[in-house]
Amino acid sequence: MYFEGAVAYSMYTGKALGEHGLYYPWLWSAAEQRVRFFDDFPAPEAVWERIGRTGRRSLIIDPYEMRPPQMMHGIFLSGWQFKNRVVLRTRFLPSQMERWLVRELGRPPAGEEVYGRPAAPELLRLRNSLLAAPHRGADVVEAILKREDFDLVWISLSAAHLGGHRFFDISRFSEEINLERHSELGTALKDIYQSVDEALGRIIGVLPNETDVIVLSPSGMGPNTSRSHFLPAMLEAVLANGRTAPKQRRAPASSSLWRIRAAIPTGLRSWIARAMPDRWALELAARLELRDVNWAGTKGFMMPNDDAGYVRLNLCGRERDGIVDPEKADALLEKITMGLQTFRDANGNPTIRKIHRVSEIGFHGPCVDQLPDLIVHWSDRVVTPLAGVSSLQFGEVSSPGWGTGRTGCHTGDAWALLLPGSSKLRTPTKPPHIVDIAPTICSVLGVDTDGLAGQSLLEPGAAIQ
C-alpha cells in the first residue's frame, strides 16, 4: 500500500490518485515552498455531486476526510457522529438541519486525537466518544428516512477507523497507563467494533426493500510499525554523509513538529487546540510542518505523513526554492535510498523493509507532481517509540518523542461486500478496486460514468423511474 490516505478521495470520486493528488490532510505546495491543509487544493467532484446534477437526491453522513459539496441535492452532514477538526469537520447542508437534529438527538461529542505520549484522560474521552458515535449514526439515518426519500444513502462509521488507530494494542502503553485502573481502555477496540456492528444492523434494517447495499472498508488496520518521526534526522544524516558526529548533531528543523509534540504534554496541547478556531488550528499545524527549514541548503526533506515515510527532493524547476539539478536527481535518490537502508533498530534488525521510487510505480495524471519521490516502508516489527535507530555509516538517531502515539496503522487489506437488491452482480472485467464504487453508484442510478477510472460492479435489474 503506497498512499493509504488516498483511498478516501478515490472512493468518493472514482478518480485515481494521479488525478486528484489528495493523500493526507497536510500536503506539500511546491509553488509556495510550504505545507498546506488539503482543503486548499482543488478536488474532483464526489459521486453525490455527480448524481445531484441529474436531480438524484443523496443523504451523506460523515464521509471521512471529505470537504462539503459545492452542489448536491439532499442532505450532507459532517461531524455528526463525532467532531474532529481534521477528518470530520462540522458541516450541515442545508444549515437548518443542525438545529432540528441537535434538538432531536443531541450534540455530537468531540473525537479529537492528540498525537504524542498517551495519556489516560485523553484516551478515555476518545473511547467514550467513539463508543457512542455509531449509534448516533444509526439514530440520524432512522430519523431522516422517516421524513424523506433518497436515491443514495452513504454513511461512514469512522469510529472503527479512529478506534483502530488509537486502541489496536493498548497494552503497548502499560507502563504509561494503569490498565487495571482503566480496564475499559483494554477492551475499547472490541467495544467500538461491537457498537459499529449494532449500528450497521439498525441502518440496514430501515433501508427500503430492494435497496442495493455495499458495505466496505477501504483499508485494513494492523500494528503501528511506523518510524516516520525518525526520518527527518535519518535523511539529514545521509545527506550530510555522516560528517556530523552523533553527539553534535542537532535535530533537523524539519522534525520541529515532532519535538513540539514531545515537549508539550498531550493534555495541554489538547486544551490549546480546543481553545482555537478550527481554521486557526489547522493553519498552525500546517505552518509547523517543515518550520525553519533552510531551503537554500536542503536537498531533500520528509513530507508530512504518519505511516510510510515520504521523501521529496528540493528540485529546481519544480519547487519554488529548488536547489537540486534535475540531471543529478536520480543519483541523489539512489544515495538516499542506499543510505537510509543502512539504519538498524536497537536490536540490530533493519529499520526499513523497502523503498519505492514513485516514478516507477506507474501513477498517471495531472497531480503526479504533488507526490513524493520516495516511499519508505518501515519494518513490520513493532518498536518502542522512544528507542532510537543507528547506522554504522551515518551514526545514531535518537527519538524526537513518542511519534503519533497510535498503536494501529493502515494496511492494504481492503474489502467490500455487495448485497444486490433490485440490481444484479456484474462480472468485473478486471480486479475490483476502490475506484469502482463511484461508477457502480452512477450505473445503478442511470448516471453517466464518463471520466471515472473504475468499472461498475452492479448492473440495474429493473428500469429506473
Q: What is the pLDDT of residues 168-186, one digit of tens each?
A: 999 888 888 888 899 999 9
Predicted confidence at residue 282, as pLDDT, reads: 82
- On the question of a cis peptide bond just before residue 439, with omega within 30 degrees of 0, the verdict is no
The residue written with cell numbers 498546506 in the block is: 36
Residue 248 pLDDT: 43
> Please, what is the Cα angle at 306 between 301 and 311, to 5 degrees?
20
What pLDDT sits at residue 256? 61
What mean pLDDT comes out for the span 433-458?
A: 96
Q: Return mean pLDDT, the chain.
A: 91
249-258, 376-385, 421-430, range with the lowest pLDDT: 249-258
pTM above 0.95, yes or no: no
Statement: residue 272 has pLDDT above 90:
no
- Residue among 122, 98, 95, 117 nearest 108 (CA): 98
Closest C-alpha among 340, 371, 335, 366 to residue 353 = 340
**Domains of the chain with bracketed CATH:** 4-25+41-223+411-459 (3.40.720.10), 228-403 (no CATH)
Mean pLDDT of 395-408: 87
Rounded to whole angstroms, how far apart are CA atoms 137 and 129? 12
- Mean pLDDT value across residues 200-213: 96
Residue 246 has pLDDT above 90, yes or no: no
Question: What does the pLDDT look like over 317-356, one tens digit per residue?
Answer: 999 999 999 999 999 999 999 999 999 999 999 999 999 9
Sequence-separated (6 or more) residues with CB below 8 Å from residue 350 = 341, 343, 344, 379
The answer for residues whose C-beta is within 8 angstroms of residue 152's C-beta and 6 or more apart is 47, 48, 51, 56, 57, 58, 59, 60, 74, 441, 445
Of the two residues 257 and 395, the one the predictor is more confident about is 395
Tell me the pLDDT tens digit for each residue of 419-431.
Answer: 999 999 999 999 9
Q: Is the pLDDT of residue 227 over 60?
A: yes
Quick check: 464 pLDDT over 80? no
Q: What would the pLDDT profile of 101-144 be if each residue is shown by its tens digit? A: 999 999 999 998 888 888 898 899 999 999 999 999 999 999 99
Percent of the chain clearing pLDDT 90 (strictly above):
76
What's the pLDDT tens digit per position in 22-37? 999 999 999 999 999 9
pLDDT at 244 over 60: no
Q: Of 110, 115, 142, which is closest to residue 127 (Cα–Cα)?
A: 110
Instruction: Using the predicted structure, report yes or no on whether residue 463 has a pLDDT greater than 50.
Output: no
Condensed to tens digits (0 to 9), the pLDDT of residues 285-300 reads 888 888 889 999 999 9
* Total Cβ atoms within 10 A of residue 453: 21
pLDDT(255) > 60:
no
More confident residue, 140 or 387: 140
- Other CB atoms within 10 A of residue 365 CB: 15
What pLDDT is stored for residue 454 in this prediction? 94
Would you state the pLDDT for residue 179?
87
Instruction: Report the C-alpha dihedral over residues 363, 372, 158, 66, rounded to 10 degrees.
Output: -80
Closest listed residue to residue 111, CA positions, set 87, 136, 140, 135: 87
pLDDT for position 257: 66
**Cα–Cα dist 452/230, whole Å:** 38
